[in-house]
Structure formats: C-alpha cells, structure tokens
Amino acid sequence: MFATRPLRGWTGRVQVTAGFALRVALLTLSSVSLLSAAEPVLFPTPLHITRELSDPVSQKTTVIDEYCQGNRMVSVSGTRTAIADYAKGEMTEIDFAAGTYSVTKFEQVARLNGKAAAPGMAAASPRREWRVEARGGSVIASRPAETTEAEWKDQNTRQVIRVSADRQMTLSRGAVEAILGIGYPQRADAAGEMMLGALRSRERAVRSNAAASAEEYHLPLEQVVRFEADGETMETRNVVVRIGSELPPPDALTIPPGAKLVESKAVALQRALEELDGPPRPSGN
C-alpha cells in the first residue's frame, strides 16, 4: 500500500508544484478517445461503473458514475456531467450548479495534449523498459481481480502503476482504452501499452472457422498511479466500487435552458499551464 505525501503549498518552488498538479489534472480531464466509423461499437451492451477517484491535490475522494453504451460514455459526478461521444468525436461538459456547458472537439483535445507532456509527467519512452511484477489476486467490488505492478525510474523521476484486472469481464481494446483514457486524443506512450498488456486476456477466443478473433481485455477494477519528480510525490487512485447495467438518468444528459456556453476545463487548464511555463512576469516596484 502506497503512502501519499501531501504536496508543498504555495511556497518555495511554486511553478514546479503548480505545474505538476495542472499537468495531472489536464491529462485526467482529457481522457477521451476517437472511434473510427469502420470500427465496431465500443459497448454493445450497457455497462454502468461506479468508481471512487482520489484527488492528489485536495486529498479528497470523488464518486463518479460512468454509463457506457454504444459509442458513448457518460460520466456523472455530483452536479456535473461529461459526455464523450466517440462517433462524433466530441466531449460535452455540463455544470448544472453553475448553469454552464462546453463542447470540445477531440481534435482540440489532441492539440492540447501535444503541449502537455513534460519531464516527470510524461510516461517513460517506449525505448525504456518497465519492471513488471504480478502481485497476486484480490477481491475488488465483490469481483475477483488479478493485480500487476510496474515501475519505471531514472535519476530524477520514478513512476509506479498498479492495475487490477477483473477476470470475469472482457471488453474490446477500444472499450478498455476509452475506460482508461489512453486512446486518441491522448498521447501514445509506454505507460498505456503497459496497462493494456496487464489487462490483456490470456484466453484468446477462436472463431468457428479457426481464425483467431480480436484480442480481448479485462475491465480495470483499480488503477493506482504514483509520480515522483523533482522532490514531489503525487498519487492518484481510481477504484471501482460497483458494476451494473443501468442507463444514465435522462436529466443528466440535457443541457438546461438558459445555460451559458463556456470554455472547457481542459482548455482553461492548458491556458494556465502555458502561463506557468512562460517566462516570469516582472514584478512591479
């Protein structure tokens, strides 16, 4: 079990700490992927996942309900809804409490992610090897799971990823990429490939004509990602607590009358990130 050390406050190396947090937030918010018209439906049957996501900055835990059906994923957390439409290639975010909504094309998210990589936050280069170890079985959300842990480090950076796979449920690669948030428009990296390898089914199905079918992947039940860079430690936990087949509530999908169209959070975070990465502004006398 990892112990999470709180980040420093707004003292000392402010830009390092704030930029570190913003990059994690940006990569988390833009977890969507694009579906080609030639590809099969991501979720042919409804899948409802309830998960708890830890926030390494506020040290709080948020409950998120994800409704997966067809080529769409709907994430509901409190008074906020995010709708990722993989067929249309766009993300819609609705904030019912604030009376606002935003619509962001996947292409725009991909451009933002192209600027988001930075030393210590980007996953290891594909040319660098992960040390991967099996950590045995456990029970998560009343389901049997098998856990894999991987570590990569260099002189100044260490990254540890622990993934627990639900051995009872298999999905397509595209569906698992969507759930993990590692497909387009995310940047391709070795960390994503490592997680997919940990989730890949060992029992590959064979069609009646003896031709090998497409590979299947197990549903991720828990993901723990820990970054250590420049003396800072940040850990995110993503744990499934329930699995069902319910559809999203209709009122969570409808933009309320009079809601204001605003800039998406991913775009706003990127703007803040660029300000942090820019040259320091001269202080007034």
Task: Between 33 and 95, name the one with better pLDDT.
Answer: 95
Residues 14-277, CATH architecture: Clam (2.50)
Picking from 81, 50, 49, the residue whose alpha carbon sits closest to that of residue 68 is 49
Is it true that the peptide bond before 185 is cis, omega within 30 degrees of 0? yes
User: What are residue 238's DSSP bridge partners?
Assistant: 53, 223
Q: How far is CA 50 from the centre of its chain?
A: 14
In angstroms, the CA 280 to CA 275 distance is 9
pLDDT at 210 over 60: no
For 191-204, the pLDDT digits (tens) are: 888 999 999 998 75
Which is more confident, 232 or 4? Answer: 232
Q: Rounded to the nearest 5 degrees, what angle is found at the Cα of 172, between the Cα atoms of 169 and 176?
A: 80
The two three-digit tokens of residue 260, written as one number:
């204001």
CB 261 within 8 A of CB 102: yes
Counting Cα atoms < 13 Å in the Cβ hemisphere of 73 gives 26
- What residue ranges do the domains of the chain occupy? 14-277
Higher pLDDT, 248 or 19: 248
What percent of the chain has pLDDT above 90?
52
Q: According to the model, what pLDDT value does residue 204 have? A: 59
Which pLDDT belongs to residue 8?
35
DSSP H helical segments within the chain, as ranges?
Answer: 14-29, 106-116, 173-180, 190-199, 265-277
Q: What is the pLDDT of residues 41-59, one digit of tens each?
A: 999 999 999 999 998 888 8
Query: Which pair of structure tokens corresponds to residue 160?
Result: 């540890």
Tell me if 84 sits within 8 A of 91, measured CB to CB.
Answer: yes
CA distances from 82 to 56, 123, 196 (A): 21, 25, 24
CB 140 within 8 A of CB 221: yes
Per the model's pLDDT, the better-predicted residue between 112 and 65 turns out to be: 65
Selection from 164, 122, 111, 108 nearest residue 141 by Cα:
164
The pair of structure tokens assigned to 153 is: 């480090």
Residues 240 and 140: their CA atoms lie apart, in Å, by: 7
- Assess contact for 157 and 120: CB atoms under 8 A: yes
Q: Which residue has the tokens 């997919």?
A: 196
Average pLDDT, the chain: 79
Q: What angle do CA 228, 231, 234 make, to 5 degrees?
A: 40
